[in-house]
């Protein structure tokens, strides 16, 4: 009888008796309590300012003899979506890491919203208005979605300041923006890959950035999740926030981005309006590994 009881508990209550009771309690609360509707997420989008949000000149990052990023210039205009594309290993992630301060630039300058951030550590760049997500999702897996996003909301000078209640409120609004508000109190490791990516974006949005850096947010998503991602990017953009996105999906890139910069072997090989760049023979050659004639 004891053995049978253990087997039944393993099968029907995988979270244990307490986990089962808590599940019932949660379901009860959800049914009885009115669902909280948070205030809409306030995004200042960096406010007004010059037409350029980010001005990068001669940016290089060398790892010993390897020139992962080599004298790259990048100008990002306010309010649009700018895509950074290129084959694997062309230096896209390294560029983002140098922009956000995880790597120290070998050479070059980075000016964000008129402020030179080249020598600043990552947290000071966040304060200056950089938000980012990672190619390999980096969330605190044992924390809830809300707790993860609250960390992003907490920065000096941000709308929520450092007051826990205001931080939670702002985090809830950010989760509502990515349509995950009803799962705010669930542990993030139980989320699907696509939803984890959305939580990362919410965490970046909670800090009210001037410029949002997204490293392959579409990687590993299925086709319906990609449609959701595209709509989310459009909603963010509609709020006036500037986005720099790395992605391999040319359909997504051509749908959301107005400007494209292309890297190959760490060097910038093309830059300009999306339609022109995607027709550029060097870009076609870099992507298909053939001469422009064959590619055409
Ligand atoms: P992408 O994101 O465009 O696929 P990466 O920026 O990740 O490319 O990498 C560009 C090049 O830099 C690759 O050759 C990679 O091996 C190298 N690289 C990236 N990070 C490091 C590092 N921390 N140390 C040494 N080499 C690195
Ligand atoms: Mg990369």
Q: Is 75 helix (H, G, I), strand (E, B) or coil?
A: strand
Q: pLDDT tens digits for 255-288?
A: 999 999 999 999 999 999 998 998 888 888 887 6
Beta-carbon neighbour count of residue 77 at 10 Å?
A: 14
pLDDT at residue 26, rounded to an integer: 82
How many angstroms separate the CA atoms of 99 and 87, rounded?
20
Mean pLDDT of the chain: 89
CB atoms within 5 A of ion ligand 2 belong to 92-93, 135
How many angstroms separate the CA atoms of 201 and 217, rounded?
9
Q: Is the pLDDT of residue 156 over 70?
A: no
Listed in order, strand segments (DSSP E) in the chain are 52-63, 66-77, 81-85, 107-112, 115-116, 130-132, 211-215, 242-246, 259-264, 267-273
Q: pLDDT tens digits for 88-123?
A: 999 999 999 999 999 999 999 999 998 999 999 999
Q: Any idea which of 25-29, 55-59, 66-70 has the lowest mean pLDDT?
A: 25-29
Atom of ligand 1 nearest to the CA of 91: 6
Is the CB–ligand 1 distance for residue 96 below 6 Å?
no
Q: pLDDT tens digits for 15-25?
A: 888 888 988 88
Average pLDDT over residues 202-215: 94
Is the CB–ligand 1 distance for residue 94 below 6 Å?
yes
Q: Is the pLDDT of residue 35 over 60?
A: no
HEC-encoded secondary structure of 162-202: CCHHHHHHHHHHHHHHCCCHHHCCCEHHHCCHHHHHHHHHH
pLDDT at residue 38, rounded to an integer: 59
User: Residue 295 — very low, low, confident or very high, per pLDDT cuts 50/70/90?
Assistant: very low
Domains parsed from the chain with CATH numbers: 52-140+166-295 (3.40.50.300)
CB 85 within 8 A of CB 248: yes
pLDDT at residue 34, rounded to an integer: 57
In residues, how long is the chain?
296
User: Residue 154 — very low, low, confident or very high, per pLDDT cuts 50/70/90?
Assistant: confident
């Amino acid at each position: 009888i004891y053995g049978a009881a253990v087997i039944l508990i393993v099968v029907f209550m995988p979270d244990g008796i307490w986990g089962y009771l808590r599940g019932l309690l949660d379901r009860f609360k959800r049914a009885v309590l009115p669902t909280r509707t948070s205030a809409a997420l306030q995004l200042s989008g960096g406010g007004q300012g010059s037409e350029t949000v980010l001005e990068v000149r001669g940016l290089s990052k060398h790892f010993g003899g390897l020139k992962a990023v080599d004298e790259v210039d990048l100008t990002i205009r306010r309010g649009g979506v700018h895509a950074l594309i290129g084959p694997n290993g062309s230096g896209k992630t390294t560029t983002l890491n140098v922009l956000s301060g995880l790597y120290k630039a070998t050479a070059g300058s980075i000016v964000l919203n008129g402020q030179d951030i080249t020598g600043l550590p990552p947290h000071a760049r966040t304060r200056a208005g950089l938000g980012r997500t990672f190619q390999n999702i980096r969330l605190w897996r044992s924390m809830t979605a809300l707790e993860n996003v609250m960390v992003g909301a907490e920065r000096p000078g941000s709308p929520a300041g450092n007051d826990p209640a205001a931080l939670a409120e702002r985090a809830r609004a950010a989760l509502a923006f990515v349509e995950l508000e009803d799962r705010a109190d669930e542990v993030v490791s139980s989320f699907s890959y696509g939803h984890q990516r959305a939580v990362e974006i919410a965490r970046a949005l909670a800090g009210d950035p001037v410029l949002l850096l997204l490293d392959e947010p579409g990687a590993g998503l299925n086709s319906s999740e990609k449609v959701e991602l595209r709509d989310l990017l459009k909603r963010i953009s509609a709020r006036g926030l500037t986005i720099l996105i790395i992605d391999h999906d040319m359909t997504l890139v051509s749908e959301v981005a107005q400007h494209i910069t292309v890297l190959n072997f760490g060097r910038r090989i093309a830059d300009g309006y999306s339609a022109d760049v995607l027709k550029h023979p060097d870009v076609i050659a870099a992507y298909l590994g053939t001469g422009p004639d064959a590619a055409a």
